[in-house]
Amino acid sequence: MSSVFAVTFPFFALVLIGYLAARRGMLSITAIPDLNSFVLYFALPCMLFRFGAGAPLAQLLDPRTAAVYLGAGILMVALALLYARRGGWNWNDAAFGALVTAFPNTGFMGVPLIVALLSQAAAGPVVQVMAIDMVITSSACIALSRLDGAGAHGMAMALRQALRGMLVNPLPWSVLLGGLASAAGLRLPQPVDQTLALLGNAAPPVALFTIGAVLARSQMGHDTAVGWTAYVPLAIAKLVLHPLLVLGGAALAAALGVPLPPVARAAIVLVAALPAASNVAVLAERFGAHNGRIARIIMVSTVFAFLSFSAAVAWVGP
């Protein structure tokens, strides 16, 4: 366990540093969108492109990995929706509550952390399932959020907005371009590759610092009248139930005679064990959902993940 903490501690420490910097006013709240922009449009696309280009195409397009992870994600969304609707949430709030419960913080935290734990061989499966969350899980939940009296027209409009957001999001494109480079055996000129490497290497520390700052900003701004039953069970489900569902799906695939490669199995279980993605709060605010609940789910899952994720690593094994 001590060797696991040696790897995971710096990642969560950077989140804490970003949180304290924003809470103490050392980082202006108005600077956070600029940090997000640097990570989203410059550093993270370069990192994902290089991971995709360096991974065998079979890892990026493995149907077994995709089926297990997507199946677990569908179950996670359904269970979270059931919990939220039984709690009296409208469809908009329930859909984003389900999204934050099923969408791990893979881009900002998971890719560098899981690769550091499992080796470069984990990059392909992690990038593959991250693309599934960005394209399928988020689009489905955005469409569900429009069910409050909007009818088919509202859902169609939500799907168009989700598609438009996906098209302008550089992360899926960087994964796609990396996969094409891998398939073609393309090797970039050394000066270009080194430039991408410099930007990609900046992604993990800046992204983790930014997560902490975003959490601090959301905590300072959200409604304090939210009861714990509205966020703690979903945060725990994100950290415990989600990886168990992925693990169960992997066991079912093995029983059906299509086992996942050991590294891919460990990688997607650890992806599911990550805390909730911080960008869901931005989406929830854009679509008018109750952002206080979403912010708390992200906050609680990030804090608890320091212990739960390390336990998951020790359990599935690097």
Which span out of 61-65, 221-225, 227-231 was modeled with the highest average pLDDT?
61-65
- Reply yes or no on whether the pLDDT at 18 is more than 90: yes
- Residue 225: pLDDT band with limits 50, 70, 90: low
Q: Which CATH architecture has domain 2-316?
A: Up-down Bundle (1.20)
Tell me, what's the pLDDT at 162?
62
Greater pLDDT, 150 or 148: 148
- pLDDT, the chain, mean: 87
- Reply yes or no on whether the pLDDT at 63 is more than 90: yes
223 neighbors 253 (Cβ within 8 angstroms): no
Residue 251, CB-side half-sphere exposure with 13 Å CA sphere: 7
The model carries a pTM of 0.85
Tell me, what's the pLDDT at 143?
82
Tell me, what's the pLDDT at 155?
61
- Reply yes or no on whether the pLDDT at 151 is more than 70: no
Q: Average pLDDT, stretch 26-33?
A: 89
Tell me, what's the pLDDT at 1?
57
- Reply yes or no on whether the pLDDT at 281 is more than 70: yes
Q: Average pLDDT, stretch 234-261?
A: 96
Q: Average pLDDT, stretch 48-53?
A: 86
* Separation between Cα atoms, residue 251 and residue 304, nearest integer Å: 26
Positive or negative torsion for Cα 30, 34, 40, 44: negative
Domain spans in the chain, listed from the N-terminal domain onward: 2-316
* Separation between Cα atoms, residue 262 and residue 165, nearest integer Å: 34
* Separation between Cα atoms, residue 51 and residue 28, nearest integer Å: 32
Least confident of 121-125, 171-175, 274-278: 171-175
